[in-house]
A = this chain, B = another copy of it.
Amino acid sequence: MSADEFEIIERYFARQAMSREDVLLGIGDDAAVLQVPADSDLVLCMDTLVAGIHFPQHTSARAIGHKALAVNLSDLAAMGAAPVWATLSITLPENDAAWLAEFASGFFALAKQYGVQLVGGDTTRGPLSVTVQAHGFVPQGMALQRDSAQPGDRIYVTGSLGDAGLALLMQGEAALQERLDYPQPRVEAGQALRGLASAAIDISDGLLADLGHILEAGGQGATIRVDELPRSPTFMAALERAGEDRTSWSHALPLSAGDDYELCFTVPESRCVAAEKELQHLGVPVTAIGIIEPEPGIRCVRADGAVYRPQAAGYRHFSEDSHD
């Protein structure tokens, strides 16, 4: 690491307020030295965001700082873990002080919200990309996994789906853009679901894709009631203004669009009341959208029982229209 890289880290990253007792040695040595409580398992995940691929090139530095941490906290939430530390590697085309200050403001605002301390990092020259590793604690043996859903378990999602996907298609909708740029990881909800959910995953690639991972891991299938997918009033109003076919797109986007960072989880029938109550207590909206079944595959049905076929082609068509 060169002298000016040390300086960058000093100026924007080392001077944070957070100072956790389990951090014996933070930024500034060859490595960090940390303590994991004896009754906890350590949970960790790593995600890289590349400009032009994971976020549009024009995304603000503050939003990138927020999102780089948020997507990792979302992975920890899906494991039921409480976040504690993060490391951060930034590759930047040039030493841009204003960009770094903005990036840091987004990163540390979210870190502070969840008591996460930055314990290491690296800054290098190159095309813009950001890698964050997040670390969390979970009581021993209590981590939520993907592979333990059972036939008969109800399938739930938190919050609403499709907002971030619609923001990518319709520019100028501020509330949707906020959802895309500043996803709020479901940190408290994930922890509340320990011992209640049978499986959990965060929705980063779209409900069908991510629920698909739960089903593949457990060797099951599912039926999804598409009319019950939660959509925000903002989402419905934006579709209306755009004059789009609400019935069609209001199903396609919540099923297929990513970037919402809600949780999708399964709960055995006997624990559904308890799980709903826990999330209600936290003020986290939750919706039952379907059921796990032994037969592989995802079957989408309308309220009248008719089969709904997710149309990937239709989604692309919509995307082309809205960019005209």
> A205 at interface (Cβ–Cβ under 8 A)?
yes
CB 8 Å contact bits of A5-34 with B (1 = contact, 0 = none): 000000000000000000011001111111
CB 8 Å contact bits of A269-291 with B (1 = contact, 0 = none): 00000000000000000000000
Chain B residue with the shortest CB-CB distance to A78: B30
B127:A126 contact, CB within 8 angstroms: yes
* Main secondary structure on A side of the interface with B: strand
Chain B residue with the shortest CB-CB distance to A133: B133
Given contacts A46-B122, A54-B124, A89-B48, contact A33 B25 (CB under 8 A): no
A24:B129 contact, CB within 8 angstroms: no
Query: When A and B form their complex, which 10 residue pairs have the shortest distance between CB atoms, in order from nearest?
Result: A31-B45, A50-B126, A30-B78, A36-B36, A30-B75, A38-B38, A127-B127, A131-B131, A48-B89, A34-B42
A-side residues, CB < 8 A to B, are 1-2, 24-25, 28-36, 38, 41-54, 75-76, 78-79, 81, 87-89, 91, 119-122, 124-127, 129, 131, 133-134, 136, 138, 141, 143, 145-147, 200-202, 204-205, 217
Supply 15 A–B pairs (Cβ within 8 Å), ascending by A. A29-B79, A30-B78, A30-B201, A30-B202, A31-B79, A32-B44, A32-B45, A34-B43, A34-B44, A35-B42, A47-B89, A47-B122, A122-B131, A126-B127, A126-B129
